[in-house]
Structure 1
Protein backbone atom coordinates (compact mmCIF):
# COMPACT_ATOMS: atom_id res chain seq x y z
CA UNK A 1 0.00 0.00 0.00
CA UNK A 2 1.38 3.41 -0.92
CA UNK A 3 0.78 6.64 0.91
CA UNK A 4 -1.02 9.23 -1.19
CA UNK A 5 -0.62 12.12 1.22
CA UNK A 6 1.79 14.87 0.37
CA UNK A 7 3.08 17.26 2.96
CA UNK A 8 4.23 20.81 2.37
CA UNK A 9 7.95 21.38 2.64
CA UNK A 10 9.07 22.58 6.07
CA UNK A 11 9.40 26.24 6.93
CA UNK A 12 12.90 27.21 7.96
CA UNK A 13 14.02 30.32 9.81
CA UNK A 14 17.36 31.82 8.84
CA UNK A 15 19.25 35.06 9.16
CA UNK A 16 18.35 37.50 6.40
CA UNK A 17 20.89 39.69 4.63
CA UNK A 18 21.03 42.48 2.08
CA UNK A 19 20.56 39.99 -0.79
CA UNK A 20 17.07 39.30 0.58
CA UNK A 21 16.07 42.98 0.39
CA UNK A 22 13.94 42.63 -2.75
CA UNK A 23 11.86 39.73 -1.35
CA UNK A 24 11.48 41.40 2.05
CA UNK A 25 10.53 44.72 0.51
CA UNK A 26 7.84 42.98 -1.56
CA UNK A 27 6.30 41.78 1.72
CA UNK A 28 6.64 45.18 3.39
CA UNK A 29 5.42 47.41 0.54
CA UNK A 30 1.66 46.61 0.83
CA UNK A 31 1.80 47.52 4.54
CA UNK A 32 3.13 50.96 3.56
CA UNK A 33 0.88 51.51 0.55
CA UNK A 34 -2.46 50.21 1.87
CA UNK A 35 -2.40 50.24 5.68
CA UNK A 36 -1.44 52.28 8.71
CA UNK A 37 0.43 49.30 10.19
CA UNK A 38 3.55 51.12 9.00
CA UNK A 39 3.55 54.88 9.51
CA UNK A 40 5.81 55.34 6.48
CA UNK A 41 4.13 57.15 3.60
CA UNK A 42 6.48 56.01 0.83
CA UNK A 43 7.84 52.54 0.15
CA UNK A 44 11.61 52.67 0.70
CA UNK A 45 13.87 52.15 -2.29
CA UNK A 46 15.59 48.79 -2.62
CA UNK A 47 18.92 50.44 -1.81
CA UNK A 48 17.51 52.05 1.35
CA UNK A 49 15.85 48.81 2.48
CA UNK A 50 19.10 46.87 2.00
CA UNK A 51 20.89 49.56 4.04
CA UNK A 52 18.36 49.14 6.85
CA UNK A 53 18.92 45.37 6.92
CA UNK A 54 22.69 45.84 7.06
CA UNK A 55 22.43 48.45 9.81
CA UNK A 56 20.21 46.28 12.01
CA UNK A 57 22.26 43.12 11.36
CA UNK A 58 25.34 44.79 12.81
CA UNK A 59 23.86 44.25 16.31
CA UNK A 60 20.49 42.52 16.17
CA UNK A 61 18.88 39.49 14.51
CA UNK A 62 16.99 39.94 11.26
CA UNK A 63 15.20 36.69 10.41
CA UNK A 64 13.44 35.34 7.32
CA UNK A 65 10.92 32.47 7.23
CA UNK A 66 11.48 30.44 4.07
CA UNK A 67 9.72 27.58 2.33
CA UNK A 68 11.01 26.05 -0.90
CA UNK A 69 13.36 29.02 -1.31
CA UNK A 70 10.55 31.58 -1.01
CA UNK A 71 10.55 34.10 1.83
CA UNK A 72 7.13 34.16 3.49
CA UNK A 73 7.78 36.66 6.28
CA UNK A 74 10.44 38.33 8.37
CA UNK A 75 11.08 39.64 11.85
CA UNK A 76 13.81 41.71 13.40
CA UNK A 77 14.84 43.49 16.56
CA UNK A 78 16.22 46.99 16.85
CA UNK A 79 17.28 49.27 19.71
CA UNK A 80 14.44 50.39 21.96
CA UNK A 81 16.49 53.56 22.44
CA UNK A 82 20.06 54.46 21.55
CA UNK A 83 21.42 55.34 25.00
CA UNK A 84 23.55 52.77 26.84
CA UNK A 85 21.17 52.16 29.74
CA UNK A 86 18.63 50.75 27.26
CA UNK A 87 20.98 47.96 26.08
CA UNK A 88 18.77 45.26 27.64
CA UNK A 89 15.61 46.40 25.83
CA UNK A 90 14.81 45.89 22.14
CA UNK A 91 11.95 46.75 19.81
CA UNK A 92 10.52 43.84 17.83
CA UNK A 93 8.85 43.90 14.41
CA UNK A 94 7.27 41.18 12.28
CA UNK A 95 5.77 41.21 8.78
CA UNK A 96 4.33 38.27 6.86
CA UNK A 97 3.10 37.99 3.29
CA UNK A 98 -0.55 38.78 2.72
CA UNK A 99 -1.30 35.21 1.57
CA UNK A 100 0.19 33.53 4.68
CA UNK A 101 -1.31 35.61 7.48
CA UNK A 102 -2.80 33.50 10.27
CA UNK A 103 -0.72 30.42 9.43
CA UNK A 104 1.62 30.60 12.45
CA UNK A 105 4.62 31.99 10.57
CA UNK A 106 4.64 35.18 12.65
CA UNK A 107 4.74 33.12 15.86
CA UNK A 108 7.60 30.98 14.49
CA UNK A 109 9.55 34.11 13.65
CA UNK A 110 8.94 35.73 17.05
CA UNK A 111 9.89 32.55 18.93
CA UNK A 112 13.18 32.33 17.02
CA UNK A 113 13.78 36.07 17.48
CA UNK A 114 13.19 35.89 21.24
CA UNK A 115 15.49 32.87 21.55
CA UNK A 116 18.34 34.84 19.98
CA UNK A 117 17.58 38.00 21.98
CA UNK A 118 17.83 35.97 25.22
CA UNK A 119 21.30 34.82 24.14
CA UNK A 120 22.16 38.48 23.56
CA UNK A 121 21.13 39.21 27.20
CA UNK A 122 18.08 41.26 26.13
CA UNK A 123 15.39 41.22 28.84
CA UNK A 124 12.62 43.62 27.74
CA UNK A 125 11.07 43.30 24.28
CA UNK A 126 8.74 46.05 23.11
CA UNK A 127 6.39 46.31 20.15
CA UNK A 128 4.97 49.56 18.75
CA UNK A 129 1.53 48.90 17.24
CA UNK A 130 -0.87 51.15 15.34
CA UNK A 131 -4.24 51.22 17.09
CA UNK A 132 -6.83 49.99 16.39
CA UNK A 133 -5.24 46.83 15.03
CA UNK A 134 -7.05 43.92 16.68
CA UNK A 135 -5.08 41.27 14.77
CA UNK A 136 -1.68 42.54 15.92
CA UNK A 137 -2.88 43.16 19.48
CA UNK A 138 -4.27 39.60 19.71
CA UNK A 139 -1.07 38.17 18.19
CA UNK A 140 1.15 39.97 20.69
CA UNK A 141 -1.09 38.98 23.61
CA UNK A 142 -0.86 35.36 22.46
CA UNK A 143 2.93 35.74 22.40
CA UNK A 144 2.89 36.98 26.03
CA UNK A 145 3.00 40.75 25.53
CA UNK A 146 1.01 43.16 27.68
CA UNK A 147 -0.02 46.74 26.92
CA UNK A 148 2.37 49.20 28.55
CA UNK A 149 1.23 52.49 27.01
CA UNK A 150 -1.45 53.99 24.77
CA UNK A 151 -0.88 57.25 22.88
CA UNK A 152 -3.80 59.12 21.35
CA UNK A 153 -3.95 60.24 17.69
CA UNK A 154 -0.20 60.51 17.31
CA UNK A 155 -0.05 59.39 13.67
CA UNK A 156 -1.92 60.60 10.57
CA UNK A 157 -2.14 58.34 7.54
CA UNK A 158 -4.75 57.48 4.89
CA UNK A 159 -6.87 60.44 5.99
CA UNK A 160 -7.24 59.15 9.56
CA UNK A 161 -5.69 59.95 12.93
CA UNK A 162 -4.30 56.76 14.52
CA UNK A 163 -3.45 55.90 18.11
CA UNK A 164 -0.30 53.98 18.94
CA UNK A 165 0.14 51.29 21.58
CA UNK A 166 3.35 49.99 23.12
CA UNK A 167 3.26 46.37 24.27
CA UNK A 168 6.02 44.69 26.26
CA UNK A 169 7.23 41.27 27.34
CA UNK A 170 9.99 40.23 29.73
CA UNK A 171 12.22 37.44 28.44
CA UNK A 172 13.75 36.83 31.88
CA UNK A 173 14.04 38.26 35.36
CA UNK A 174 15.92 41.52 35.84
CA UNK A 175 19.15 40.70 37.69
CA UNK A 176 20.78 43.13 40.07
CA UNK A 177 23.74 43.34 37.67
CA UNK A 178 22.90 42.36 34.05
CA UNK A 179 25.39 40.61 31.81
CA UNK A 180 26.72 42.68 28.93
CA UNK A 181 24.70 42.86 25.72
CA UNK A 182 26.20 40.63 23.01
CA UNK A 183 25.88 41.79 19.37
CA UNK A 184 24.36 39.10 17.17
CA UNK A 185 27.48 39.10 14.97
CA UNK A 186 29.50 37.77 17.93
CA UNK A 187 26.98 34.99 18.49
CA UNK A 188 27.11 34.09 14.80
CA UNK A 189 30.89 33.73 15.01
CA UNK A 190 30.25 31.14 17.73
CA UNK A 191 27.92 29.21 15.39
CA UNK A 192 24.52 30.65 16.26
CA UNK A 193 21.64 29.29 14.21
CA UNK A 194 18.07 30.69 14.53
CA UNK A 195 16.42 27.23 14.65
Structure 2
Protein backbone atom coordinates (compact mmCIF):
# COMPACT_ATOMS: atom_id res chain seq x y z
CA UNK A 1 0.00 0.00 0.00
CA UNK A 2 1.43 3.41 -0.91
CA UNK A 3 2.64 5.69 1.86
CA UNK A 4 0.61 8.77 2.77
CA UNK A 5 3.74 10.80 1.93
CA UNK A 6 3.98 9.58 -1.63
CA UNK A 7 5.20 12.34 -3.93
CA UNK A 8 2.69 12.85 -6.71
CA UNK A 9 3.25 14.22 -10.20
CA UNK A 10 0.40 15.49 -12.39
CA UNK A 11 0.98 15.39 -16.13
CA UNK A 12 -0.96 14.98 -19.38
CA UNK A 13 -2.19 11.45 -20.02
CA UNK A 14 -0.36 9.58 -22.78
CA UNK A 15 -0.99 6.42 -24.76
CA UNK A 16 1.35 4.42 -22.48
CA UNK A 17 -1.17 5.07 -19.67
CA UNK A 18 -4.00 3.34 -21.51
CA UNK A 19 -3.92 -0.05 -19.74
CA UNK A 20 -3.70 1.49 -16.26
CA UNK A 21 -6.43 4.04 -17.01
CA UNK A 22 -8.68 1.30 -18.39
CA UNK A 23 -8.15 -0.83 -15.27
CA UNK A 24 -8.88 2.13 -12.99
CA UNK A 25 -12.08 3.03 -14.89
CA UNK A 26 -13.23 -0.60 -14.99
CA UNK A 27 -13.12 -0.68 -11.19
CA UNK A 28 -15.81 2.04 -11.17
CA UNK A 29 -17.82 0.24 -13.86
CA UNK A 30 -17.83 -3.00 -11.84
CA UNK A 31 -18.07 -1.69 -8.28
CA UNK A 32 -19.86 1.67 -8.16
CA UNK A 33 -22.68 3.71 -9.70
CA UNK A 34 -20.19 6.57 -10.27
CA UNK A 35 -20.23 5.83 -14.00
CA UNK A 36 -23.32 4.66 -15.82
CA UNK A 37 -21.28 2.35 -18.03
CA UNK A 38 -22.45 -1.16 -17.19
CA UNK A 39 -19.82 -3.34 -18.87
CA UNK A 40 -16.05 -3.21 -18.60
CA UNK A 41 -13.77 -2.18 -21.46
CA UNK A 42 -10.63 -3.51 -23.05
CA UNK A 43 -7.76 -1.12 -23.55
CA UNK A 44 -8.37 -1.18 -27.29
CA UNK A 45 -12.01 -0.17 -26.74
CA UNK A 46 -10.83 2.76 -24.59
CA UNK A 47 -8.13 3.92 -27.03
CA UNK A 48 -10.45 6.37 -28.92
CA UNK A 49 -11.43 7.89 -25.57
CA UNK A 50 -7.79 8.49 -24.64
CA UNK A 51 -6.88 9.84 -28.08
CA UNK A 52 -9.76 12.34 -27.92
CA UNK A 53 -7.78 14.34 -25.34
CA UNK A 54 -4.94 16.37 -26.85
CA UNK A 55 -2.27 17.96 -24.64
CA UNK A 56 -3.71 21.42 -25.26
CA UNK A 57 -7.12 22.95 -25.85
CA UNK A 58 -10.22 22.78 -23.68
CA UNK A 59 -10.48 18.98 -23.66
CA UNK A 60 -7.76 17.50 -21.49
CA UNK A 61 -6.76 14.30 -19.75
CA UNK A 62 -4.34 14.60 -16.86
CA UNK A 63 -3.03 11.82 -14.65
CA UNK A 64 -1.59 11.78 -11.15
CA UNK A 65 1.26 9.34 -10.69
CA UNK A 66 3.38 8.18 -7.80
CA UNK A 67 6.79 9.73 -8.62
CA UNK A 68 8.72 6.65 -7.45
CA UNK A 69 6.65 3.83 -8.95
CA UNK A 70 4.93 5.79 -11.75
CA UNK A 71 1.69 4.05 -10.70
CA UNK A 72 -1.39 6.01 -11.76
CA UNK A 73 -3.25 7.21 -8.68
CA UNK A 74 -6.04 8.99 -10.54
CA UNK A 75 -7.04 11.06 -13.52
CA UNK A 76 -9.11 14.09 -14.45
CA UNK A 77 -10.75 15.02 -17.73
CA UNK A 78 -12.43 18.04 -19.24
CA UNK A 79 -14.52 16.92 -22.17
CA UNK A 80 -17.28 18.26 -24.36
CA UNK A 81 -20.57 18.81 -22.57
CA UNK A 82 -22.74 18.34 -25.66
CA UNK A 83 -21.98 18.08 -29.38
CA UNK A 84 -23.85 21.21 -30.52
CA UNK A 85 -21.54 24.15 -31.40
CA UNK A 86 -23.05 26.65 -28.94
CA UNK A 87 -21.87 24.41 -26.06
CA UNK A 88 -18.24 24.77 -27.22
CA UNK A 89 -17.20 26.95 -24.27
CA UNK A 90 -18.63 24.53 -21.70
CA UNK A 91 -16.77 21.44 -20.50
CA UNK A 92 -17.84 18.50 -18.38
CA UNK A 93 -15.19 17.56 -15.86
CA UNK A 94 -14.66 14.33 -13.98
CA UNK A 95 -12.15 12.84 -11.55
CA UNK A 96 -11.45 9.16 -10.91
CA UNK A 97 -9.04 8.00 -8.20
CA UNK A 98 -7.48 4.60 -7.64
CA UNK A 99 -9.51 2.82 -4.94
CA UNK A 100 -6.70 3.21 -2.38
CA UNK A 101 -5.86 6.83 -3.28
CA UNK A 102 -8.80 8.69 -1.75
CA UNK A 103 -8.41 11.15 1.10
CA UNK A 104 -4.83 12.08 0.18
CA UNK A 105 -5.45 15.30 -1.75
CA UNK A 106 -4.92 13.72 -5.16
CA UNK A 107 -8.29 14.91 -6.48
CA UNK A 108 -7.32 18.41 -5.38
CA UNK A 109 -3.97 18.19 -7.20
CA UNK A 110 -5.70 16.97 -10.34
CA UNK A 111 -8.29 19.76 -10.33
CA UNK A 112 -5.63 22.40 -9.58
CA UNK A 113 -3.61 21.26 -12.60
CA UNK A 114 -6.67 21.01 -14.85
CA UNK A 115 -8.06 24.44 -14.01
CA UNK A 116 -4.61 26.00 -14.34
CA UNK A 117 -4.31 24.43 -17.80
CA UNK A 118 -7.78 25.65 -18.79
CA UNK A 119 -7.15 29.23 -17.59
CA UNK A 120 -5.92 30.34 -21.03
CA UNK A 121 -8.55 28.41 -23.00
CA UNK A 122 -11.85 29.73 -24.32
CA UNK A 123 -13.88 27.95 -21.64
CA UNK A 124 -16.65 29.74 -19.78
CA UNK A 125 -18.28 27.04 -17.65
CA UNK A 126 -17.34 23.65 -16.15
CA UNK A 127 -20.06 21.16 -15.23
CA UNK A 128 -19.78 18.06 -13.07
CA UNK A 129 -22.28 15.29 -12.41
CA UNK A 130 -22.15 13.47 -9.06
CA UNK A 131 -24.10 10.30 -8.33
CA UNK A 132 -25.27 10.58 -4.72
CA UNK A 133 -24.36 9.65 -2.11
CA UNK A 134 -20.77 10.76 -2.73
CA UNK A 135 -19.81 13.29 -0.06
CA UNK A 136 -16.11 13.20 -0.96
CA UNK A 137 -16.92 14.28 -4.52
CA UNK A 138 -19.34 16.97 -3.34
CA UNK A 139 -16.67 18.37 -0.97
CA UNK A 140 -14.04 18.35 -3.72
CA UNK A 141 -16.28 20.22 -6.14
CA UNK A 142 -17.42 22.75 -3.55
CA UNK A 143 -13.77 23.37 -2.57
CA UNK A 144 -13.16 24.44 -6.18
CA UNK A 145 -16.11 26.81 -6.26
CA UNK A 146 -18.65 24.57 -7.95
CA UNK A 147 -22.21 25.25 -6.90
CA UNK A 148 -25.09 22.81 -6.89
CA UNK A 149 -27.62 23.59 -9.65
CA UNK A 150 -30.02 20.66 -9.60
CA UNK A 151 -30.62 16.93 -9.68
CA UNK A 152 -31.79 14.72 -12.50
CA UNK A 153 -33.86 12.08 -10.70
CA UNK A 154 -33.50 8.37 -11.46
CA UNK A 155 -31.81 8.90 -14.84
CA UNK A 156 -29.51 5.87 -14.71
CA UNK A 157 -30.25 2.22 -13.97
CA UNK A 158 -27.39 0.10 -12.67
CA UNK A 159 -27.09 -2.73 -10.15
CA UNK A 160 -30.85 -3.26 -10.31
CA UNK A 161 -31.86 0.20 -9.18
CA UNK A 162 -32.25 3.78 -10.40
CA UNK A 163 -29.71 6.50 -9.59
CA UNK A 164 -29.90 10.29 -9.51
CA UNK A 165 -27.24 12.66 -10.85
CA UNK A 166 -26.64 15.91 -8.96
CA UNK A 167 -25.20 18.65 -11.19
CA UNK A 168 -22.65 21.26 -10.20
CA UNK A 169 -21.29 24.20 -12.19
CA UNK A 170 -18.29 26.49 -11.97
CA UNK A 171 -17.60 29.68 -13.87
CA UNK A 172 -14.15 29.68 -15.45
TM-score, normalisation: structure 2: 0.89
**Paired residue total:** 165
- Shift of the alpha carbon at 1:57? 2.6
Q: How does 1:95-174 map to 2 (within 5 A)?
A: 95-171=96-172
1:120 partner SS: coil
Larger Rg belongs to = 1
In the alignment, structure 2 segments of 5+ residues that lack a partner are none
> Does the alignment pair 1:85 with 2:86?
yes
Q: Identify which range, 111-120 or 51-60, moves more after superposition.
A: 51-60
Q: Which residue of 1 aligns with 2:63?
A: 64
Matches of 1:143 and 1:159 in 2, distance apart?
A: 33
In the alignment, structure 1 segments of 5+ residues that lack a partner are 1-6, 172-195
Matches of 2:112 and 2:60 in 1, distance apart?
A: 12
Matches of 1:66 and 1:163 in 2, distance apart?
A: 31
Instruction: Point out which structure has higher relative CO (alpha carbons under 8 A, 6+ apart).
Output: 1
Note if contact 1:132-1:162 (Cα within 8 Å) is conserved in structure 2.
Answer: no
- Shift of the alpha carbon at 1:122? 1.0
Deviations 1:107-126 (A, max 9, x none): 10011111111211212000
What's the Cα RMSD here?
A: 1.6
TM-score, normalisation: structure 1: 0.79
2:100 partner SS: helix
Matches of 2:129 and 2:53 in 1, distance apart?
A: 17
Q: Which residue of 1 aligns with 2:43?
A: 46
Matches of 2:30 and 2:132 in 1, distance apart?
A: 17
- Shift of the alpha carbon at 1:56? 2.7
Note if contact 1:153-1:161 (Cα within 8 Å) is conserved in structure 2.
Answer: yes
- Shift of the alpha carbon at 1:9? 5.2
- Shift of the alpha carbon at 1:95? 0.5
Matches of 1:133 and 1:168 in 2, distance apart?
A: 16
